[in-house]
Structure 1
Amino acid sequence: MGTGWSLSSITTSWVDPVATLGAGTMTALVPDSVMTALSLGIARRYVGREVTVTLQGVPVTARLGSFRVRRQGAHFESRARLTGIDWGGHALEEVTAVANGVRLVPGAPTRVRTAQIDVAGRVALSTLLAQVNLQDGLDWTLFAEESGLIRAEHRHRRLTAVVDASIADDVLRIEVIRARWRGLPVPGRYLPAPVIPLPPLPNDARNVRATRDGHVVRFTLEIPMLSSSFDLTQLLRLIG
């Protein structure tokens, strides 16, 4: 299936102004060859290569490990695996993003809408703590212990603590394992277990879960409905 076939057989009918049905119904009527042309073209051109995109004004660079699209009823599902991610200076080891309820709305430009994007990934604990330490206004400096736990040193007081942490449903829970003040152990009854609501993420995304697994932090995010548009003809020429 070459580019010429894609442009002549797909583009003409795709931008037909008579196509005025609802987005979900129209996607169900679209030949699977449209998505096949797009998914195979993107995979052939970009899988195994470093790609750079801009999300909400932030540059994101990563290596595309895999990309595929499949039909689910009247909609589609797309799945992409990325490694070596640099998200505006924030490093992530690996991310798998699954876009659910993908709908294509014919026209010029073509519109694409997703019902929800599930993001699962991992980041090295030391990398994450280094990024946290760069934040302004923090009273603590954080280090990764050999055990994988986190050592926190107060920047103005002679207070240190060894802690573990997890996130569930936008809430951070901190477990204080042990603490010392001026070198003396702090009794367990004086060690709090903070529960901290996290600030909202961009685009109404939600922190579903984040847990430490040794020296790696595994996380899951949910991003609600997103929409965008693109020139189908130009994209087919680019990936053909």
Structure 2
Amino acid sequence: MATYFDPKSWSLSGAVDVGRRLLDPSWIDQWLGFTTSWADPVADLGSGTVTALMPDVLMTVLSEGILSRFGGQEVSATLLGHDLTATLDVFKVRRRGAHFQSKTVLSDLVWDAHPFDSVTVIAHGVRLIPGVPTKIRVQQLDIEGVIGLEALVEWVDAQNFDWRVRLDERGRILASHRSKKMRALVDAQVYDNLLTIDVARANWHGIRLPRRAIKAPALLLDDLPNRASISYAHRRGDKVRFRIELPETTGSFDLAQIRTAIVAGTTLIVF
């Protein structure tokens, strides 16, 4: 049934009365309760409710809640002691047999002050273990991403290796030994944890060295943090594409903190 506005029946006092009712705190509380009702299962689980379906319920609530709250927006998180901010583009969770699999796509990621253009993380064999705090175990993480060459070179230079690296005016990688008077134009790539360095030109005390004298040996990266494995890392123009695999990882989170972070839009914490 249609209703129509009659200007003759309108009055200032009536409008004020409607405004008062709309701004009534109890009405606002009801509205907030309705719009965040998806988070109620998290509150129940946090208070000790345990059912056989708890992992499924909790994963559904968390994935839908995080995506609906942060999808397409900047999200802040503390993940296993590392601070990050990024725009959340995709967050999907689905059951794979006895465990779950999740896919997260982030853009404009800043991880501990290091900028990445984009990162895709697929978590295999995800398990939730009830308790206070709730534990999460992942059998394997596959991480693919793109980082700007300049940002990567700056990160490598900050590691205080024997060689300093920077980009020259033509976007080439220039390496200079910290104590010896040696300089070289180089490029590098990693495949299956094997780092190979291509030396285009090198000089010592300003004297150009012959190519046969500047061949760099390949280096096996077998001592990476968290037992990580680099499937590949190669340069394409001013970008570097990479894929990293991480073995089993364990973390914990507080359900109440996660619920508050989703509702209020604050930092998500996994420790």
* TM-score clears 0.5: yes
CA contact (8 A) 1:113 1:226 kept: yes
Deviations 1:181-235 (A, max 9, x none): 3444322211212222336333222222211111111111111112223344664
2:40 is equivalent to residue 7 of structure 1: yes
The higher radius of gyration belongs to 2
Whose strand proportion is higher, 1 or 2? 1
CA contact (8 A) 1:15 1:106 kept: no
Partner of 1:185: 208
Q: Identity across aligned pairs (percent)?
A: 41
TM-score (norm 1): 0.79
How far the C-alpha of 1:80 sits from its partner, in A, is 0.9
TM-score (norm 2): 0.71
Find the residue that maps to 2:160 and give its secondary structure: coil
Cα distance change, pair 2–129 in 1 and its aligned pair in 2 (3 A): same
CA contact (8 A) 2:137 2:251 kept: yes
CA contact (8 A) 2:38 2:61 kept: no
Whose helix proportion is higher, 1 or 2? 2
Cα distance change, pair 96–156 in 1 and its aligned pair in 2 (3 A): same
2:86 is equivalent to residue 53 of structure 1: no
2:134 is equivalent to residue 115 of structure 1: no
How far the C-alpha of 1:161 sits from its partner, in A, is 1.7
Task: Show structure 1 runs of 5+ residues with no match.
Answer: 20-25
Task: Show structure 2 runs of 5+ residues with no match.
Answer: 1-33, 264-271
Distance in 1, Cα, partners of 2:41 & 2:109: 37
Distance in 2, Cα, partners of 1:228 & 1:156: 42
Give 1:126's aligned amino acid.
E
Distance in 2, Cα, partners of 1:64 & 1:9: 21
Partner of 2:167: 143
Give 1:200's aligned amino acid.
D
How far the C-alpha of 1:32 sits from its partner, in A, is 4.5
Give 1:214's aligned amino acid.
G
CA contact (8 A) 1:11 1:232 kept: no
Partner of 1:167: 190
2:242 is equivalent to residue 219 of structure 1: yes
Distance in 1, Cα, partners of 2:151 & 2:197: 19
2:262 is equivalent to residue 229 of structure 1: no
